Structure 1
């Protein structure tokens, strides 16, 4: 998904395949569907159509991110809408949709220096081409505005069009979908909301590292303190943790990645806070919040959160309207069923320490006011997984 795993897809290095041209006519089309943070986003000027890449970029990243991507959720439409009224956020369609999910900062010097932090589907695309797949005939990509809900109309319509295009371009062959991370949730929502289209156009669905039941440690902390994609000196060239936070708190997709409170976790995800005792300032206590109780913690910790954009202040508390929307999305994800004629493969990672429980403050340095959490670095406890998604969440696909 994101976080410690970075933006790249591991395990898919470039391999040479033995190509048999006689098999090209029988090759089934492949559609690659990216996950959260895995699509290039451009800011397109409404007046003249000029576009600039705002995600991902390494140079001037923080400035352009604030200028173009900071958003507010509109409960009337269900969309996160940019504060910049002069632009539209669009996903480039170049190269049959593959450009948007390949190298996320395709600047010449990034390719020259081989900055693999921003290589997303690149190695898999190269591997598939080496195996005989052809862009625009048997190989396509689907990037989308990952700020938005996984069931929002724009994403559903876009996936429908991409499936139809892939089907027609390949001569009427059903499509094999390969989704990564949150892209699996988007496909699952589509499978439920447009089941007839899914049955008509999809042959196989290969799902990689999907947080079917959420990603507790990473998402809980992202809503409270933000997200740092890269560490060390590289962080000076990328979006800061707090700049990212001020977007994520208004993103429906993030709320849809919160841990499913109804799922039977092997270990219940918790948020822990060391706090000063209100009645006795000389003592401390450990407050513990489960997946349901943490909503109250989010509300209290984010009650004073705000951002300043062009001199104007905007309140950014924990958004209950988005939470209600995400709850309806969770209901869809829980009841969606795989059609009988579609094969499903679930690929997930294990043997990596994966954040699960999050703790703020310490016995020696407790939290006074809960709003202090937003400027506190977390301490994680870990479970087995791929570094971001716990294995029991990725395994619980509900398709078997």
Structure 2
């Protein structure tokens, strides 16, 4: 999800009193409004105390990241409601709506610590927001953001209602102009769920939908391993300040959104993505076997591998095996996604990443170090086989949207890096029908991360 990008010294471009106002001549009253929809992990999440109303940011944060994450975000799925509910009952998880929803998807940890440590991995839509404002978009009139609780299902009522309200707000604020949606990653699945469940509203409010790096048919290697050993967003020195892989793992097992990104067993993959495990069947050295599980047969493997999984919370042990209630919910979500129909009035554009090794098959153990008890898999880092993609989502999945796309373009870029890629920006401006007027002013409530740039013309080798 997160990628590398440059960081300039923050205080040289900080605005006095917040965001600088651009000259009225820079604003374009004829622009159609844009709503930015983020992906998994791409929204700030706050914990708000139900009694006092006090608020603390729990995702993303640098200081006390692991402690606060466990305290506020560890959750259990409620099959009666379809919602994942925090173990901490004293607080509720909320997404900030400041800056017309843009703050929640801009810089995910806007604290001074993140700036001093130069942790640009937590920059989400920041550069794109600045680029759009440089093209004449105005926050609250023609530019909006949509963040959400990414633990939940992509089709849960609260999220669907929130997106409908955001589209309606943008539609009315711009004087009745239809909205252009730009989604990233899992945000594309969320939009597709909305389009399937609320097709009339989608037709009423949406003009164009530009999708970036969406796992339309799943993200095999990444999601397989997320459910088995966890997910690590940040590597190297920065990882010491971030949520650990195992802490993240204990949350993801109870998240419908993760199950909804398992590889689609009904999709005609060029080669089915596999979970492989070298099994020790007895004490005899020769009795070792390589077992393989594809998208249709992997459930029995998850059940066995996660049967003993548990977390410790407030001194209690809580069992969290593979959740068949969530799997049943996710199967219905997959059906809703597959049945989505693009309205004739809406133009669809798809940008997907290429040229990065993307996890596909995962293999646990080896012929010389086989695994006996499958529950040991959860404490074993896998070996991956890779395919072409953005480092997270295979290109095969990202470009299999199932629509008659106006344009479908592969860009050399990483999953998170596509959000600040100049070639992507040039395509966005072309499809939105805008030009950039200036990049010399800070347009966000936090510092800019990229120096002024001049966009170069795309050569044939840049667009695959």
State the TM-score, normalizing by the size of structure 1. 0.95
Shift of 1:228: 1.1
Match of 1:30 among 29, 34, 43: 34
In structure 2, what is the equivalent of residue 302 of structure 1? 306
Match of 2:107 among 72, 81, 103: 103
Distance 1:193 1:114 in 2: 41
Distance 2:271 2:149 in 1: 32
Shift of 1:105: 0.1
Shift of 1:112: 4.9
Q: Deviations over 1:340-380 (max 9, x none)?
A: 00000000011111000000001111111000000001100
Shift of 1:20: 9.7
Structure 1 residues 7 and 145, CA gap change in structure 2 (3 angstroms) = farther
The correspondence of residues 74-223 of structure 1 with structure 2, limited to 5 A, is 74-223=78-227
Q: Secondary structure at the match of 2:28?
A: helix
In structure 2, what is the equivalent of residue 15 of structure 1? none
Q: Secondary structure at the match of 1:226?
A: coil
Q: Secondary structure at the match of 2:353?
A: coil
Distance 2:248 2:383 in 1: 19
Distance 1:92 1:380 in 2: 37
Contact 2:101–2:147, Cα closer than 8 Å, also in 1: yes
Distance 2:154 2:369 in 1: 39
In structure 1, what is the equivalent of residue 384 of structure 2? 380
Structure 1 residues 110 and 23, CA gap change in structure 2 (3 angstroms) = closer
In structure 1, what is the equivalent of residue 256 of structure 2? 252
Q: Deviations over 1:81-115 (max 9, x none)?
A: 00001000000000000000000001024235542
The correspondence of residues 256-271 of structure 1 with structure 2, limited to 5 A, is 256-271=260-275
State the TM-score, normalizing by the size of structure 2. 0.82
Q: How many residue pairs end up in the alignment?
A: 389
In structure 2, what is the equivalent of residue 62 of structure 1? 66
Q: Deviations over 1:291-328 (max 9, x none)?
A: 11110000000001011100111110000000000000
Contact 2:148–2:159, Cα closer than 8 Å, also in 1: yes
Contact 1:7–1:120, Cα closer than 8 Å, also in 2: no
Distance 1:90 1:268 in 2: 38
Distance 1:221 1:112 in 2: 32
Match of 2:297 among 293, 305, 323: 293
Distance 2:281 2:247 in 1: 32
Contact 2:5–2:121, Cα closer than 8 Å, also in 1: no
Distance 1:300 1:128 in 2: 49
Contact 2:27–2:138, Cα closer than 8 Å, also in 1: no
2:247 is aligned with 1:243: yes
Query: What RMSD in Å do the two structures reach over aligned CA positions?
Result: 1.7
Distance 2:271 2:286 in 1: 32
Match of 1:48 among 49, 52, 67: 52
Q: Secondary structure at the match of 1:387?
A: coil
Distance 2:115 2:201 in 1: 38
Distance 1:51 1:229 in 2: 24
Distance 2:390 2:396 in 1: 11
Q: Secondary structure at the match of 1:171?
A: coil
Contact 1:68–1:83, Cα closer than 8 Å, also in 2: yes
Contact 1:30–1:178, Cα closer than 8 Å, also in 2: yes
Note the residue ranges of structure 2 that are not aligned, 5 or more in a row. 7-22, 405-464
Shift of 1:284: 1.2
